[in-house]
């Protein structure tokens, strides 16, 4: 089946479910070795699934900007970047409560709200009314893509099926896609798997939802731990550097990942990544 035919099938059947993903845990993990910078495409890949926060979108600058737009007219004067960083710092603890089984699965919008509740006393936001809190929680739906991402995804879509494999819920992914003119073939990730990365079932659910073997699916991220978890259950892996995710020159670099190895393809930018994977 061609990519075009498969894309049509996905749209007709709205393939967002991921039944039997746990059964795919028996897939044999295939060790990978980082290709040198400047190499060509990885053979056998039919689909790419993407981390979103930090990899495709600039959450830090945008959360600061959007929070300011809501709160400053109400008389608040915060260190907006510090507020964004504090909110995001609650992300992994919030995920771990669910991954560990201490709490049942809930979508990321709910988790984000719990994270906000934990930090708002530190920023003098105790007295915010419910309407303002609900509006503030939706700043995560208004993030901008890194500048080279939309064009690179359009180029990749000529050859591969594309979808997010994010911890973000489906409505959040829809809003980010529409905001940034990104066309997905399916929206995959935590909400269809009922768990959060880096649990194996999230990656396997994405491959199964597309009707592909793990080895035919590439996980793309700017975070090596995400890629290591995907590779452990047989997915191919692509690292694209976003060195300014947490501020200037704070992220993992392509050179660091190449030196470590264990990733199939390493690129310094989405422009470079798309050019190599469509060569």
The whole-model pTM stands at 0.86
The pair of three-digit structure tokens given for residue 49, joined into one six-digit string: 């699934």
| Alpha-carbon span 124 to 65, nearest angstrom | 18
Give residue-wise pLDDT tens across range 81-110.
Answer: 999 999 999 999 999 999 999 999 999 999
Give residue-wise pLDDT tens across range 206-245.
Answer: 999 999 999 999 999 999 999 999 999 999 999 999 999 9
Q: Which of 165, 109, 160 is nearest to 137 (CA)?
A: 109
- CATH ID of 3-57+144-277, from 1.25.40.10, 3.40.50.1000, 3.40.50.620, 3.50.50.60: 3.40.50.1000
| Alpha-carbon span 176 to 100, nearest angstrom | 28
Q: How confident is the model at residue 249 (pLDDT cuts 50, 70, 90)?
A: confident
CATH says 59-141 is which class?
mainly alpha
**Domain coordinates in residue numbering, the chain:** 3-57+144-277, 59-141
Paired residues of 240 in beta bridges: 267
């Amino acid at each position: 089946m061609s990519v075009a035919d498969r894309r049509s099938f996905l749209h007709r059947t709205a393939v967002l479910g991921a039944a039997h993903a746990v059964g795919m845990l028996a897939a044999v993990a295939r060790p990978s070795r980082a290709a040198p910078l400047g190499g060509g495409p990885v053979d056998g890949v039919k689909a790419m699934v993407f981390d979103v926060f930090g990899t495709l979108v600039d959450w830090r600058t945008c959360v600061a900007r959007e929070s300011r737009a809501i709160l400053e007219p109400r008389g608040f004067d915060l260190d907006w970047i510090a507020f964004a960083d504090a909110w995001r710092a609650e992300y992994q603890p919030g995920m771990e409560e669910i991954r560990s089984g201490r709490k049942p699965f809930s979508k990321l919008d709910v988790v984000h709200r719990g994270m906000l509740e934990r930090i708002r006393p530190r920023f003098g936001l105790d007295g915010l009314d419910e309407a303002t809190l609900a509006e503030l929680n939706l700043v995560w739906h208004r993030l901008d893509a890194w500048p080279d991402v939309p064009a690179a995804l359009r180029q990749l879509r000529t050859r591969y099926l594309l979808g997010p494999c994010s911890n973000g819920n489906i409505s959040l992914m829809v809003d980010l896609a529409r905001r940034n003119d990104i066309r997905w073939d399916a929206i995959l990730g935590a909400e269809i798997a009922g768990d959060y990365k880096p649990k194996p079932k999230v990656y396997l659910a994405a491959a199964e939802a597309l009707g592909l073997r793990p080895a035919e699916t590439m996980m793309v991220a700017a975070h090596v731990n995400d890629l290591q978890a995907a590779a452990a259950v047989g997915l191919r892996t692509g690292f694209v550097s976003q060195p300014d995710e947490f501020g200037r020159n704070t992220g993992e670099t392509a050179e660091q990942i190449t030196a470590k190895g264990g990733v199939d393809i390493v690129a310094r930018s989405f422009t470079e990544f798309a050019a190599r994977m469509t060569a």
